[in-house]
Structure 1
């Protein structure tokens, strides 16, 4: 079905209908098959060398999925051994191979969905981009006293520190009290990436709408787009993450599979503005396709194209824009995306309509310093694969 456009009520254009994704050849997508083979080879080699236990890569352009590959293991290790600094492997018959349908703990990719829900409220006129957080959450005295705004939360310019140890608080009331009292440690307006921005935004959205975040994301994003594999945990069949124990982690929870990895999201019951969602490569490709199509996918519309443009225009609302450290050569022309601590990432390139989803369980069996080389190289491969349509 051809894509139809008309002027939206906020100006600009918005798609009335955008073709759904289909699996087809790289040539049909205007992508070079040789570069895409190298992309898959690079990911496979990285997994074999220990970058992650396993991975799924989905890449395409326009309505075409040209790459959908799974490598390695969804579950490989029983536990982490401190003395040898290695994972204790499961017997071969108990390991779980990675498949293209394996759900992953998205970690900070959750922030993108929280941001979309917030921008939906901007489009409806129920929330102002430069409105003060204190106007909606007067009891959050730290944010209110410093005049923090919705825009600052979405662009990580609130000055809030990266995180709070909510996982150490005795109960939910104590965790909420910490968040209510938290004040910026830097000058508002200065960039400082912080999970607290999306936790505050979650509180604001829930107060504004009277609905919990998981319902807002389900009704506003995943259900309209048909993303049936996307939602907050538990997800028993998900790729395993970490043998989570102190001192390398912040809680003693053992080997995790299908339960949120992030300690604060876990402490908050698994539903949080900064982490907690699980999804698959194909579902995230649908999410990318909808945004690249101006907010529409098939007959569904989750945002008008002018608001999608607002999200993806530097500095980005929720999205990071033109970051070569994980986008490689896709950066530089308005590419937008995000990474997740567990080993996940997405990149959208509005200039060419191409997208890249790279999911891995890089923290299995335990977390290590992030290695973004594989992500950046994959972005470069996709960039070099683009051919004139």
Structure 2
């Protein structure tokens, strides 16, 4: 058994799959239909939240958030983050703007509908069926005990609840295998088809992707995409997982440090022969 690592934002890919697979949650639905959120945010569409095109901002731009994380303070309550986002207002939908707050609301929609925490839901409905058996929760500081022995005290004191969209720990190879299995149709043909068709082009100068895009929880290259995946990063780790669009191969890169992920993306592309 290899060492577990925090998936960080790679979990967004699997959260998106859980949303897409849910027969009650529709892409055109307002998030307020499925989650208890501030009134000012309730009209935002599920599909726009999945693609980071809802007009929401992100808490990473808040100086006091960055300071609190650096000081290893306990995470703020979810409701405080949502209320602050509502008070700051929402821009017009349609333009890409990466928003962890959007995926926080999607997590709430899934958890409130099914009555279980995100990790348990993903294991039951997505990760387990895709063959991932190594998942461990990453919801509390104590959960760092699941992660590789090289975690230093400064990382182990980081409160994972700062990852408001939710995340988990798992073996890197299993994460890559799961993405390949997903795109290969292990959960049926409909979801990978939706993921491939959902991508909209982005202008990202200097990125290793020739034609970058972002769809429903997937970072993509090509129109239509030839590869799909997602990155993740936070205290102690930077990751990127990428798979061929047909699921025939996948690769993951993990660095035990907080670094620019572009070399990791390039390494994934080389491994897949792209």
Q: TM-score, with normalisation over the residues of structure 1?
A: 0.55
Residues 1:336 and 2:204 aligned together: no
2:193 pairs with 1:309: yes
* Alpha-carbon RMSD: 3.1
Instruction: Indicate the residue corresponding to 1:178 in structure 2.
Output: 81
Structure 1: segments with no counterpart, 5+ residues: 1-99, 244-253, 266-271, 297-302, 324-330, 385-389
Query: What TM-score, normalized by structure 2, do the two folds share?
Result: 0.76
Q: Whose radius of gyration is greater, 1 or 2?
A: 1
Q: CA deviation at 1:119?
A: 1.2
Describe the shift of the 1:115–1:231 C-alpha distance in structure 2 as closer, same or farther (beyond 3 A).
Answer: farther
Q: Which residue of 2 aligns with 1:158?
A: 54
CA distance in 1, matches of 2:150, 2:12: 19
What whole-Å deviation, never above 9, does each CA across 1:162-201 have from its counterpart, x for those lacking one?
2263995998885413314523443222110111111010
What secondary structure, in the 3-state scheme, does the structure 2 residue paired with 1:178 have? helix
Once residues 264 and 110 of structure 2 are traced to their aligned partners in structure 1, the CA distance between those partners, rounded to angstroms, is 35
State the shift of 1:217 in Å. 0.9
Structure having the higher helix fraction is 2
Aligned to 2:263: 373
Give the count of matched residue pairs: 243
Q: Measure the CA separation in 1 of the matches of 2:130 and 2:247.
A: 22
1:156 deviates by 0.3
Of residues 222, 231, 236 in structure 1, which corresponds to 2:145? Answer: 236
- Distance of 2:247 and 2:117 partners within structure 1: 36
Maintained 8 Å contact 1:159/1:189: yes
The separation in 2 between residues aligned to 1:362 and 1:139, in whole angstroms, is 34
Kindly indicate whether structure 1 or structure 2 has the higher relative contact order, using CA contacts under 8 Å at least 6 residues apart. Answer: 1
Query: Which residue of the other structure, out of 14, 26, 29, is the alignment partner of 1:131?
Result: 29
Quote the Cα distance in structure 2 between the aligned partners of 1:103 and 1:350.
26
1:292 corresponds to? 183
Q: Which of 101, 104, 113 is the matching residue for 1:196?
A: 101
